[in-house]
Amino acid sequence: MVAMFDRKPLQFKRQRLVAIERATMKSILLLFSSLLTALAAVPFDIRGPGPGSIRVTSTSDSALVAWLDKAGRPCSAEFSLDPAKPLITAIAVNGKTIISRAQPVYRVSTGKRRGGFDQFFDFPPSHPEGTRDFLGDFKLTAAHAGFDGDRLDISFEGLALGIFHGDIHYFFFPGSTLIQQRAIVTTNEPDTAFFYDAGIRMTVDQDRRAGGTMETNVVYYDTTGKLQTVRAPHASEWNPVAVRYRALSASTGAGSVAVFPPPHRYFMARDYTSNMGYLWYSSWRGNVSLGIRQLPDDDSPYYPWMNAPPGTQQELDLFLLVDDRPAAAVLDSVLPYTHRDRFVPLDGYRTFAPHWHYAYTVQAMEHGFDWTPPFKPVLKEMGVNMAMPMDFHGDGHPSDTGEIRLRELKAYFDACRAQSDANFLLIPSEEMSTYLGGHWGIVFPKPVYWFMKRNPGDPFRSTDPTYGTVYHVGSADDAIALLRAENGYMYQTHPRTKGSTGFPDRIKDSEQLKSPFHLGAGWKAMNTDLSSPRLGDRAFKTVDDLNNWGLHKRLIGEVDVFQVDSTHELYGHMNVNYLRLPAVPAFDHWADALAALAEGEYFTTTGEVLLPRTSLLPSPGQITAKVTAVWTFPLRMAEIVWGDGRETHRQTIPLTDTKEFDQREFTWQVSAPEWKWARLELWDIAGNGAFTTPIWKN
C-alpha cells in the first residue's frame, strides 16, 4: 500500500526558500554596492561650525549644501564624493533642479614673460619657446568645507591644469543664488604668463532629440544691446560669441543658469578694447556647456596676458547665477551687479575718466566739429560726466614747430568745446614722452598753445597774432617753467610699465616730482595677477613708495585705451574717479574739475563699490576710518594702508559678513605707530573695488 500525501505544502516551502534566498542575495548585493560606493568615495571634512545661514552635511557618497535665497526660497547643492561621477550631482532652487550631473571646465594657455612681471609689450606668443595649451584634468581625491564669515567654501582636490595644479572651489552666499566657481592653482615655473578659459558642462536631458541631437536655446545681449535667443548648433566645439554685459544664459530644465566672469579682473589690460567674443557655449550629446574665454591667437603686442609668479595661488573665477525662471529673466538678474555697465550718479559727485587716445582732433578736422565722435554716446551711456582725452599720441603733428601744431591745438580746443554740454565735458590734455621722465600727462586749466620742441634762437615765450602767447619747450627746465607759468598739472601715466618703465624711480630727486603740480601717478589694472585680491597692485606700490619718500602724491584712475565704439568691451577695462563737485563744469570752467582733482576731493572705483562718505581720522599712533559704502557683489575685505616713511603696512579687515546689493556704515581703528600717511581700500569677491586718496600727518 502506497502512502498518499499532499505535495502543495512542500512546493510552497520551496517557493518561500527561493524568495528568501533572492531577498537575501539582493540585500547582500545592495550592501556590497553600498560598501563599494563608500570605499570609492573620497574623504570629506567640515572645518568648524557655520553661522547657520548655510548648512553643510554629508552622506557616505555626497556633500550637501542648503541655504535660503533673498526671497526665503530653499536652495540646495549636492556634490558627489565618488570620483567616477560628475562632481555636481544637482543644484536646485525652490525644489526645482536647475543644474544636473555637471562638471567644471578649465583650460589655460601659458607662455614666458620677458622683462619682469610689469612688462606690457613682451607678447608671450612671440617668445622663442612659444606657448602651450592645456585642458584641465580633474580627478577628485579629497573634499573639504569651511566657513569664511557667513559664506561657505566647499573645495575639491585633484585639478591638473598643465603646469598648474590645485583645487576646485564653490562659494555660496546666504540670501543669494549667486555661486562662485573658482579654481585655485599654483605653478613653480618661473616667468609664467597665462590666461584661462572656464565653464560648466551640464547634463540637460530635456534638450535631447532623436538621433542623439540636441535643441538648446542660448540667450544673450548682442553688442548693439539687443536681446538674442539663438539655437545652439549640435556640435562639440565651443561656439564663441561677442556679447554685451559679458554674460549669457540657457534653460536647463526646471530653470536656467547664467554664466559670467569677474567684470574687470578677467580682462587683462589692453590698448584696444575690441569685443573678441569672451563667452562661449556648446550643446552636444546630452550636455550643455556655458563658459568664458580669452582669444588665444590675437597677433598684437598690446595683449600682455596675465602673470603667475612661482608659488602664488591664482584664482580662476567663473560666476553662476541659477534660478527657476526663464533664461532671459536670469540673464537680466546678472546686469545689476555692474549697474548695467554704468557708473551710477552719486549726490555731490561727478564722474571723471582721463587718458584716452581717440585721435579725436584729426577726425574732427576732417568731419567737422558738429560730428559726434563714436566715443561720446558710449561714455554718456556709461555715466561718464567728464573725460580727459590725450590727443596727438601717434596722431597729428605734435613735433611740429609751426602753424600745423598751433592749428591742431586750436582745433582740439574747439572740438572739445563743441562736444561738451551741461552733462558732459571734454577736457583737452596730452601725454608726453620727453623731458620729465617716462610718459606723463599734462593738462592746463585753460587753452594753452605750446610747442614740444624749441629751435635754436627761439624764446621760451612768444606772441602770435592769431593764437596769443605761445611757449617753446625744449628741456626739462622749459617744461617745468611752462607748468608753473600756466598753473598746469602733470602725473606719471602707467608708472613702472609701458613707456614709464623705471619711472618715477629714476626721477626720485627731480624738481618736477617734488613740485605740487606733479599730482602723482595713474592707476589701472595692469598687469593682472590673479593671486591678489586687488587690482592694480603695481600702481598702489608706486604711490606708497612716493609717499614713503616724503612726497604728497595721489593715484588718479586712468583708462589708457585707444579708439572705442559701442560694440567694444569697454566696461571691463574701465574705472572712474568720483570728483566732489556740485555739477559738471562748463567748458570754460574745466579748471574746477582739475582743482577738485589736485585737492584730492575724489575716490576711485571700478563702479561696483562706492564710497560716498569716508574719513580717516588721525591721532598719535592710531588711525580711525569712518566709511559709508555701497556695493553690489558681496564684499571681501577692507584695508587701511599706511606708511612710516620706510615701509608700507596693511591692516586687512575681513568683510565676509556682508551680503550682495547692500550699504553700510563702518568704523575701524588700527594701530599705526609713527605713521606718516594713510589711505583706504575696499574690495569685493570679484576683485572690484574702490579706494580713497591718501591723507598725510604733516
Asked if the model's pLDDT at residue 499 lies above 80, the reply is yes
Please provide the average confidence, as pLDDT, over all residues in the chain.
94
Asked if the model's pLDDT at residue 14 lies above 60, the reply is no
State the pLDDT at residue 496: 98
Classify domain 349-605 by CATH number.
3.20.20.140
Per-residue pLDDT, averaged over 447-468, amounts to 97
Asked if the model's pLDDT at residue 69 lies above 90, the reply is yes
Strand pairing class (518-523; 489-492): parallel
Q: Which residues contact 316 (CB under 8 A, 6 or more apart)?
A: 106, 182, 183, 184, 185, 196, 198, 530
Pick the range with the lowest mean pLDDT from 22-31, 274-283, 443-452, 461-470: 22-31
d(CA 544, CA 536): 13
State the pLDDT at residue 36: 45
Asked if the model's pLDDT at residue 35 lies above 60, the reply is no
d(CA 20, CA 255): 45
State the pLDDT at residue 518: 98
Asked if the model's pLDDT at residue 294 lies above 90, the reply is yes
How is residue 4 annotated by DSSP? Answer: P
pLDDT digits (tens, 9 = 90+) for 549-575: 999 999 999 999 999 999 999 999 999
State the pLDDT at residue 52: 87
> pLDDT band for position 300 (50/70/90)?
confident
Burial 188-219 (b: 16+ CB within 10 A, else e): eeebbbbbbbbbbbbbbeebbeeeeebebbbb
Partners of 241 in the beta sheet?
279
d(CA 160, CA 583): 54
State the pLDDT at residue 32: 46
> pLDDT band for position 298 (50/70/90)?
low
Domains 44-337 and 349-605 share a fold: no
State the pLDDT at residue 619: 86
**Residues 115 and 140: beta-carbon distance below 8 Å:** no
Q: State what percent of residues in the chain have pLDDT above 90.
A: 90
Return the percent helix, strand and coil in the chain, to nearest 5: 20, 40, 40
d(CA 539, CA 694): 14
Pick the range with the lowest mean pLDDT from 34-43, 406-415, 442-451, 536-545: 34-43
State the pLDDT at residue 607: 98
Q: Which residues contact 291 (CB under 8 A, 6 or more apart)?
A: 105, 197, 198, 199, 200, 238, 259, 279, 280, 281, 318
**Residues 555 and 520: beta-carbon distance below 8 Å:** yes
State the pLDDT at residue 295: 85
Closest CA to 235 of 279, 174, 280, 187: 280
Per-residue pLDDT, averaged over 390-408, amounts to 97
> pLDDT band for position 38 (50/70/90)?
low
Residue indicated by cell numbers 577726425? 363
Q: Give the per-residue SS3 of 220-289.
A: EECCCCCEEEEECCEEEEEEEECCEEEEEEEECCCCEEEEECCCCCCCCCCCCCCCCCCEEEEEECCEEE
6 vs 217: which has the higher pLDDT:
217
Q: Where are the domains of the chain?
A: 44-337, 349-605
Q: CATH class for domain 44-337?
A: mainly beta
Asked if the model's pLDDT at residue 20 lies above 80, the reply is no
State the pLDDT at residue 620: 87
Asked if the model's pLDDT at residue 1 lies above 60, the reply is no
pLDDT digits (tens, 9 = 90+) for 113-160: 999 999 999 889 999 999 999 999 999 999 999 999 999 999 999 999
How open is the CA angle 250-253-259, to the nearest 5 degrees?
30
State the pLDDT at residue 51: 86
pLDDT digits (tens, 9 = 90+) for 369-398: 999 999 999 999 999 999 999 999 999 999
State the pLDDT at residue 5: 40
Per-residue pLDDT, averaged over 470-484, amounts to 98
State the pLDDT at residue 50: 83
State the pLDDT at residue 48: 81
**Residues 645 and 550: beta-carbon distance below 8 Å:** yes
pLDDT digits (tens, 9 = 90+) for 663-685: 999 999 999 999 999 999 999 99
d(CA 691, CA 684): 12
pLDDT digits (tens, 9 = 90+) for 629-671: 999 999 999 999 999 999 999 999 999 999 999 999 999 999 9
Per-residue pLDDT, averaged over 247-253, amounts to 95
